[in-house]
Every structure is written in C-alpha cells, then in structure tokens.
A and B are shown apart, each in its own frame.
Chain A
C-alpha cells in the first residue's frame, strides 16, 4: 500500500508486534495474526491508527474476548490511542491462516485445514492427516467439535481422537 499515510512504519511494526503476541482465547498456541483475524492497519479521518479485525465465525463467542485482549495488549504497550474496527469483507476463510499458524496448530494436535481448501465442501474432503502419527487412515466422528471452528476426528492407526480445523 503506497497511499499517503501519517502512520509511521515504526508504529505499524510496533502494533504488529503487539498483535503477534495476542493469543486466540480458544487455541492459545496461535495468535490473532497467525489465524488471519488481524486484517491490517488503516488511518481514520483524524490520523489515528485503526486496527482492523475480522470474525472467524459470526457466532464465535471468542470474538468479544479477542477484541478485549487486543485493546488490553495495545494499552499495555502504551498504544491506547490505537482504535479497533471489525470488518466483515472479505469474509474470513481458513486460507487466511498463515503457514506458521498451520504448523503451530499441527504441533498442538489440531489438524490444520490444507491450503486452498477454503471453498471445498466438508463432504468428499481429501484425506485428513492425523496430527499425532501422520497417518491418513482417519475418519470423522462429529462434524462439530469443542468449538464452532473445529470438527472431531479419530485416527484409525494410533486410535487417538483429534480436532480438525473446519474448512471454510
């Protein structure tokens, strides 16, 4: 973005650094930046920096907690002048999860959505890899899991159940 802006590169970096350390309340190993909830930084009419975030699911109960955590983190870093705005468009998809975020999810025991799977249906999905043993001999137990963004799967090889990030 080459548009003229009074937000300095330094401020941008500081904000991004703060956000990279704000965990998702339901999956604390990934940050709001990893998940793609953080959309960018824009400038309002009065020259203030505005952090744009987007909800993962419309009814995600974590959304309010995320807003609060971001406000707190910014305030703690002495950036309480930075505003927060929720944007809907373009709608969040699992493709917005970063590569790093996918790795962190896998290490945490959650099968991440494959890149480019955002538009595909839950049916006829390609083989899902067990995050523990790597086997592709897996099956869906429940389309909904412990949170709206996850489905419950099990591995037929190591017999462990695991969460799978729903593709959206």
Chain B
C-alpha cells in the first residue's frame, strides 16, 4: 500500500467531511432562509468531495474500507483534518471567518493539484476546484458585508477572524508524509500558495474595513491525529447511528 498517499487523501477528505458536518449543524438555525440554504449547500458540496477523496483513500489502502466505513468507523485520533475545520461554529460571523480562510486555502491548493502526477487526484481536484471557488466568493462577500456593516457586525466579524488566525499556519505546514509526495509530484507544497493566500485574504479583509492580526500562538496537530476535544463530540453525533445499528439502511 502507498501509505503516504493514503494519509494525504485522508487529510484532504477529512477536511471536507468535518467542515461539511459543521456547516450542516446550521440547518434550520441560520439567520435567514437564504443563508440556511447556502450553508447546507456548501456542506453538500463538501460531502461530495469527501466521498470522492475518502473513496479513493479506501482503494489505495486496499483493506476493503469504503468512504462510509472510513467516515463512520474511525475515532477522532484516526482523523487527519486540520484543526480549523473542527472548531465549533460560534456565531454566523465566526462560521464565515472559518469558511473564508479555509476556502481560499483550499481553492489555491486544488488549483495546483489539478497538475498532480496522480491522475485520479488531479481529476477530483479539477471537479472540486470549481465548487470551492464559489465557496470562497460567497464567504468573501459575507466577510465584507459583515465587516463593513454595523458596529456590531463589524466587531463580530473581527472577533471571528482573530479567533481563527491561530489555525491558519497548520494548513500550510508540511511534514514527512507530504514531503515525500511533493517530491513525487503527487502532493502540492502548500508553501507555494501561501503568498497568494495572504494577498487574497488581506485584500478582502481590507475592503471589509477589518484588520489582519496573525496569531502569535499557532495551533497544530490535526494532521497527526491530535485534535481538540470538539472533534470527538462532533463525531459522536455523526457516527452514532451507523455504529449502533451497523446494518441500518434508509
């Protein structure tokens, strides 16, 4: 088995899956009906991407685990998502701050992965990047609308961004697993997208009359399975049915 590729696909797939689950927690609770629809639809795109990525991961592993098996029957320490996506939703501004930072990171990454030497991964990236571009635009629009809105929305948007900055560096960190794949032309060195990320984020944040305040205390560990306690609580809810009733079908 190609252990490094399996790990890498889990990282990409788990980012999608965990963020999708978080977004769907907004269902029926969003500020307006239109926002409710959009958050669930963003989640749906991400579930679709997770299916493709985890499905491929299962094939690479070759142990007979499909995407559902990987989603429902792994514990938190086996998840490889970054810490940013597992953080609780907070208020709407905080959710948008998270989605804004993640989608821009992810769009730039997928844009590069389209050129991956792994054909299957390149195809998935080509499909997903278009959806992700839509996400990045939607989130950017909300950052501007809330930042350049009322005194209260401005404060909340700034708070949201300030909170999530501590999780940004982890998305661009490279460990041994990725280094090997980068050399093989399969993975992308996220460092090549960092400059573009900073530029785009700064541009939006400025037009939102907000400030970029990078964290002096970056949090990492998700890629190695060291998660915040929020992930296990979230997975408990997501996994309870297939674990309690393994043969359950709709």
A interface residues (Cβ-Cβ under 8 A, vs B): 55, 57-61, 88-93, 121-123, 141-146, 148, 152, 166, 168
Find chain A residues with CB under 8 A from B34 CB: 141-142, 144, 152
Bound-state CA distance A60–B38 (Å) is 14
Task: Knowing A59-B45, A148-B44, say if A123 contacts B131 (CB, 8 Å).
Answer: no
Q: Which residue of A lies closest to B122 (CB)?
A: A89
Interface size class of B (residues with CB under 8 A): 20 to 34
Instruction: Map CB proximity to A onto B31-54 as digits: 1 under 8 Å, 0 otherwise.
Output: 000100110011111111101100
B interface residues (Cβ-Cβ under 8 A, vs A): 34, 37-38, 41-49, 51-52, 123-124, 126-128, 130-131, 133-134, 137-138
Extra pairs beyond A59-B48, A143-B138 (12, CB < 8 Å):
A58-B48, A58-B52, A58-B127, A88-B127, A90-B126, A91-B126, A92-B127, A122-B137, A142-B37, A143-B38, A144-B37, A144-B42
Show 18 A/B contacts (Cβ-Cβ < 8 Å), sorted by A.
Answer: A55-B48, A57-B48, A57-B131, A58-B48, A59-B43, A59-B48, A60-B48, A88-B52, A90-B126, A91-B123, A91-B127, A121-B133, A142-B34, A143-B38, A144-B41, A145-B37, A146-B37, A168-B130
Binding site secondary structure of chain A = loop
**Which of A58, A144, A148 has the most B CB atoms < 10 Å from its CB?**
A58
Find chain B residues with CB under 8 A from A91 CB: 123, 126-127, 130
Q: Which residue of A lies closest to B127 (CB)?
A: A91
Binding site secondary structure of chain B = helix
Q: Which residue of B lies closest to A149 (CB)?
A: B41
Of the candidates A59, A89, A122, A142, the one whose C-beta lies within 8 Å of that of B47 is A59
Contact B46 A89 (CB under 8 A): no
Find chain B residues with CB under 8 A from A55 CB: 48, 127
Contact B38 A144 (CB under 8 A): yes
Bound-state CA distance A148–B48 (Å) is 11
Bound-state CA distance A144–B126 (Å) is 21
Find chain A residues with CB under 8 A from B138 CB: 143
Find chain B residues with CB under 8 A from A61 CB: 44
The smallest beta-carbon distance between B122 and chain A, in angstroms, is 8
**Which of A55, A144, A145 has the most B CB atoms < 10 Å from its CB?**
A144
Bound-state CA distance A121–B132 (Å) is 12
The 10 closest A-B CB pairs, nearest first, are A59-B48, A58-B48, A142-B34, A59-B44, A144-B38, A144-B41, A89-B123, A88-B123, A91-B127, A91-B126
Find chain A residues with CB under 8 A from B47 CB: 59
Contact A58 B128 (CB under 8 A): yes
Find chain B residues with CB under 8 A from A145 CB: 37
Bound-state CA distance A127–B137 (Å) is 19
